[in-house]
Amino acid sequence: MDHFNAANEIQDLQYFGEFGGVNPSISDSSTYTFLSAKTMFDTFEGNADGCYLYSRHSSPMNLYLSQALAKMENTETANVTASGMGAITSVLMQICKSGDHIISSRTIYGGTYAFLKNFLPPLNIDTTFLDIIDFESIENAIQPNTKIIYCESVSNPLLEVADLRKLSSICKKHKLKLIVDNTFSPLSISPSLLGADIVIHSLTKFINGSSDTVGGVYCGTQEFVNDTKNVNNGACMLLGPTMDSFRSASILKNLRTLHIRMKQHSHNAMYLAERFENDGLKVSYPGLPSHKNHELMKSMMQKEYGFGGLLTVDAGTTEKANELMEMMQHENLGYLAVSLGFYKTLFSCSGSSTSSEIPEDEREEMGISDGLIRFSIGLDHDIERTYKKMKECMFKTGVLHHETIYTS
């Protein structure tokens, strides 16, 4: 793992425009001409490498972006989609058919949870949700029809870290596919090196980083990606979550600065997490030695990109959390908004937003408390200044009391 660096892989990949442009040219077409009818037929059959047919299937710019992301994730290939959910649903529906079974971490993004919990059962695909570090329960839950273990490398919103090496060994033993959503830890964790079969991202977040579009990708073997694009039974080809070429062009350009941004997100998040914890707040951040998966994350990550830009703070109650978020927004410290990976800090109360699809009793069991604020820390130049202003807001809203501070 030491010799692999995802940022170098991306950097080594060069594309030029057709007139020598330093960026590749955007192909502004939904359909492509053929000089011979035979080649068109071969392309339909999937046998004409380098030929484009129809942009729902593939397009030059989508292939460029897919290739760059495959390099980043150290997989044979990849396929970009119109959203992260477009990638997740295509992968799951490609692998699982009626009668199949999935084992999933119970702490995952609310939309994925809702898809597994509500959308798939009427199609006769059931999911068992488990604590992803309870390996005994995971092995016990495996049935002859189990096809997948699904998890997030760093989970949304609780920032639990999955032991990908261990999960991969369970998958290999039982011939299951390990599918990992790596949205929270691009560059820092490379799931394929730890045994994941398919790696998914919501490009909407850190990878694009400018909160101007949704997008997704799944990275895996050429065979799997070809299957998803098969004109007769490919989930992605037939469900049609296709990214537009203009969007893939802009995401590819933003990908070029991901390594710089991730370092700054991580640096700022670490700074705030340490200070907030010192102030007596209930903080969760994988970079803190107090985080239950701190050592595990250290053993899986590429250190230079840090522990990521996400942290949570428990404000006690929803009311206090809301008051604090509104005040921080008023003070221009960030935006009360869902999503993550933006230059500006974003905060939201997970229980009433991105995890609201999860029923209240289950949220409680998982540890998503009512006052839990998820922060996606921005690229602030002077994080000490930000910290001081945030602390002021915390005092004013009563989230922090003067007597809770034991170190200044």
Binding positions for ligand PLP, rule: CB under 6 A: 83-85, 109, 111-112, 152, 156, 181, 183, 202, 204, 214, 216, 354
Q: Give strand pairing partners of 148.
A: 102, 177
Rounded (10°) angle between helices 318-330 and 383-396: 130
Residue 96 C-beta: closest distance to ligand PLP, Å: 18
Residue 243 C-beta: closest distance to ligand PLP, Å: 11
Residue 115 C-beta: closest distance to ligand PLP, Å: 10
User: Closest CB to ligand PLP among 152 and 314?
Assistant: 152
Contact between residue 157 and residue 371 where contact means Cβ atoms under 8 Å apart: no
User: Closest CB to ligand PLP among 24 and 286?
Assistant: 286
Residue 154 C-beta: closest distance to ligand PLP, Å: 9
Of 310, 312, 293, 292, the C-alpha closest to 301 is: 293
Of 215, 223, 153, the C-alpha closest to 190 is: 153
User: For ligand PLP, which residue has the nearest CB?
Assistant: 84
Number of residues written out for the chain: 408
The DSSP secondary structure of 71-134, one letter per residue, reads: HHTT-SEEEEESSHHHHHHHHHHHH--TT-EEEEESSS-HHHHHIIIIISGGGT-EEEEE-TT-
User: Closest CB to ligand PLP among 216 and 351?
Assistant: 216
Residue 58 C-beta: closest distance to ligand PLP, Å: 20
Q: Buried b / exposed e across 227-240, counting CB within 10 Å, b at 16+?
A: bbbbeeebbbbbbe
* Alpha carbons 25 and 13: distance in angstroms, whole number: 15
Sign of CA dihedral 269, 274, 278, 284: positive
User: Closest CB to ligand PLP among 60 and 216?
Assistant: 216
User: Closest CB to ligand PLP among 94 and 386?
Assistant: 94
Residue 19 C-beta: closest distance to ligand PLP, Å: 33
User: Closest CB to ligand PLP among 43 and 156?
Assistant: 156
